[in-house]
């Protein structure tokens, strides 16, 4: 069975909850990614931050990305997948929560990130097509 651990990109970097959105955007640029996990001082996952969040939830509302913190955009309990969960469960979780990237955790530790494309490569094309369509329609 292919697991999330098999699919994930290891070494995911967090943006700390007290870092500004400007710092988060710079980290995204430097890492060439469009999303970062938000971690607290205890290194526990607090949420996810996307480049779209920065634009829509800060800049478009007249916020100052140099003073708004990443933690202020974290909402609710973050959607994650366990490192030993199956590729199928990973894709189902993405569809259920309408997300294209999932932090992979082992216990409470962030161990990587898995993207929709990572999962899609491991599953039957018909299954992937159906789930991607569900995500896109949501």
pLDDT averaged per 10 residues, the chain (length 138): 91 94 97 93 89 95 96 88 92 89 92 87 73 64
Q: What are 88's two structure tokens?
A: 């199928």
Q: Which CATH architecture has domain 4-137?
A: Roll (3.10)
Cα separations (Å) of 137 from 63, 81, 102, 104?
30, 22, 19, 25
* Axis crossing angle, helix 87-97 with helix 125-137, rounded to the nearest 10: 20
Query: 89 vs 1, 12, 15, 73, 121, CA distance in Å?
Result: 11, 20, 26, 27, 14
Q: CB–CB of 116/18 below 8 Å?
A: no
In this prediction, residue 122 carries a pLDDT of 76
User: In this predicted structure, what is the pLDDT of residue 72?
Assistant: 95
Residue extents of the structural domains in the chain: 4-137
Q: Is the dihedral of CA 120, 87, 77, 74 positive or negative?
A: negative
């Amino acid at each position: 069975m292919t697991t999330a651990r098999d699919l994930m990109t290891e070494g995911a970097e967090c943006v700390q909850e007290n870092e500004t959105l400007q710092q988060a955007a710079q980290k995204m640029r430097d890492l060439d990614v469009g999303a970062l996990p938000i971690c607290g001082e205890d290194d526990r996952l607090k949420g996810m931050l996307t480049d779209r969040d920065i634009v829509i939830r800060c800049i478009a509302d007249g916020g100052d990305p140099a003073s708004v913190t990443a933690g202020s955009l974290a909402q609710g309990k973050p959607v994650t997948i366990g490192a030993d969960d199956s590729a199928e469960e990973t894709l189902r979780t993405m569809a259920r929560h309408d997300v294209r990237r999932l932090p992979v955790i082992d216990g409470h530790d962030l161990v990587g990130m898995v993207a929709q494309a990572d999962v899609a490569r491991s599953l039957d094309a018909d299954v992937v097509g159906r789930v991607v369509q569900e995500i896109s329609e949501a």
